[in-house]
Amino acid sequence: MAETLTPDICVIGAGSGGLSVAAAAAAFGVSTVLIEEHKMGGDCLNTGCVPSKALLAAAKRAALMHDSAAFGITAGNVSIDFAKVHAHVHNVIASIAPVDSAERFTGLGVRVIKGHARFRDRRTVVVGDQYAIRARRFVVATGSTAGVPPIPGIDTGPYLTNETIFNLTTLPRHLVVIGAGPIGLEMAQGFRRLGSAVTVLEAAQPLAKDDPECAAVVLDQLERDGVVIRSGVKVAGVAHAGGNVSVTIAGETGEETIEGSHLLVAAGRKPNVDGLDLDAAGVRYDRGGIFVNKKLKTANRRVYAIGDVAAKQLQFTHAANYHAGLVIRNALFRLPVKVNKDAIPWVTYTEPELAQTGLTEAQARERRYPVRILRWPFHDNDRAQAERETHGHIKVVTDSRGTILGATIVGAQAGEMITAWTLAIAQKMNIRAFTGIVIPYPTLSEIGKRAAIDFFTPSLTRPLLRRIIAWLRIFG
């Protein structure tokens, strides 16, 4: 007979979102059950952020060794042992895994259950015939998996997704990537820099969710690295033969076949809603995920959905963590909460990095703001010159009064530098704040101050103001 548990909170899925809810609930002394059917840590730790960034770190080392001659340093013959790159990636996962482990969460006071969870009715979740959990609140945090488009022939042989690519122990000779979003392009640059030939196929625009002007800087670097990017092409068919793969694409000039050794599908994500029996719980959903309101509540008021499985939300680890914080405030303390997607930054970890926070220029114009655009290039920054990292720029979007609406940074350390702008947007700050701030010299962050000073340039009619700006330009 099934054991019946009656916790305050039952969390389904021990990935970025679910672990954050469980850890916070346990810290407040709330009885919590956490159910995971696969690996603790979910996508981010096992098949997403962590292995991808570890692989990119190896690829960056390889690129640095090839490109250091301008610094007066040559590394001789650079050799890449891909089996050791694989070991490095898995060592990084292993070093982080204890933080997400069942043992740690049990120690925090969470009841961790291994198994597949599904709803039996509106207020009961079952795990096989072992457990029935009747909780006060449920949090569905089941994440997403790679969406595989219905391309003729794709299923007739092997293809890689984020779940399998990090298991490779030999370097692909020619990796064909379907999808030029952040995941596809990070992997494209990583494998190219480690020695694979790489061709990326994209039906629409690469990095379509990012500011096109800044995305172009990334695409330019990928092409310099030797990644072939074919955008505006439809993948018409896939054939597998002799361990290789032929991908037929249809573009403006007709059909063409690309021969590769491996195929990676990175063409979007599919929320994990199957097998949860959401209908039994009265939770509404479709292929895009579980429908949630601004509080992340589903159609069943006892049930929240967070992270990648929630429809129309940003699919990032920090977005899942942010959702978790909102759910804790609402479910435990009955505080009013409202999800704000504009406050969530994101980064594509190619080299150069591409970081976005707040509104892009296009979004600001769509919302009919009287937009001002401020830019400053990396090549006018002394630290960037010293590091030979002069590729890229900052682009800041403000309204006509200088309220900061958004910022995009493309260049070295963009992911680190975007935080100041995220804080500024969250605090509804004016661009003036960046003109007065003292920034250590020489740092890349100075580009933000330089862009900010530019806000005041066109309105310079008064001589004193003009002198102040000139002074700031020289000594600021």
Ligand X SMILES: Cc1cc2nc3c(=O)[nH]c(=O)nc-3n(C[C@H](O)[C@H](O)[C@H](O)COP(=O)(O)OP(=O)(O)OC[C@H]3O[C@@H](n4cnc5c(N)ncnc54)[C@H](O)[C@@H]3O)c2cc1C
CA distance 84 to 82: 5
CA distance 205 to 71: 36
422 burial via Cβ count (<10 Å: 0-12, 13-18, 19+): middle
Name the minimum Å distance from CB 20 to ligand X.
8
Please provide the DSSP assignment of 236-256 as one string: EEEEEETTEEEEEEEETTEEE
Nearer to ligand X, 43 or 202 (CB): 43
Nearer to ligand X, 13 or 476 (CB): 13
- CB–CB of 111/32 below 8 Å? yes
Binding footprint of ligand X on the chain (CB under 6 A): 12-18, 35-38, 42-44, 48-49, 52-53, 116-117, 141-143, 162, 183, 272, 275-276, 307-309, 315-318, 320, 349
Packing angle of the helix pair 446-454, 414-426 (nearest 10 deg): 50
Name the minimum Å distance from CB 390 to ligand X.
25
Name the minimum Å distance from CB 249 to ligand X.
23
Adjacent-strand bridge partners of 251: 254
212: helix, coil or strand? helix
Nearer to ligand X, 42 or 411 (CB): 42
Name the minimum Å distance from CB 354 to ligand X.
12
Q: At which residue do the structure tokens 């001589």 appear?
A: 463
Name the minimum Å distance from CB 233 to ligand X.
22
Nearer to ligand X, 42 or 172 (CB): 42
87 is written with which tokens?
């070991």
207: helix, coil or strand? coil
The H-or-E segment that residue 61 falls in is: helix 49-66
Nearer to ligand X, 183 or 198 (CB): 183
Nearer to ligand X, 177 or 431 (CB): 177
Q: DSSP code of 440?
A: P
Name the minimum Å distance from CB 358 to ligand X.
17
Could you tell me the end-to-end alpha-carbon distance of the chain, in angstroms, rounded to an integer?
72
Nearer to ligand X, 188 or 201 (CB): 188
Name the minimum Å distance from CB 260 to ligand X.
19
Q: Closest residue (Cβ) to ligand X? A: 15
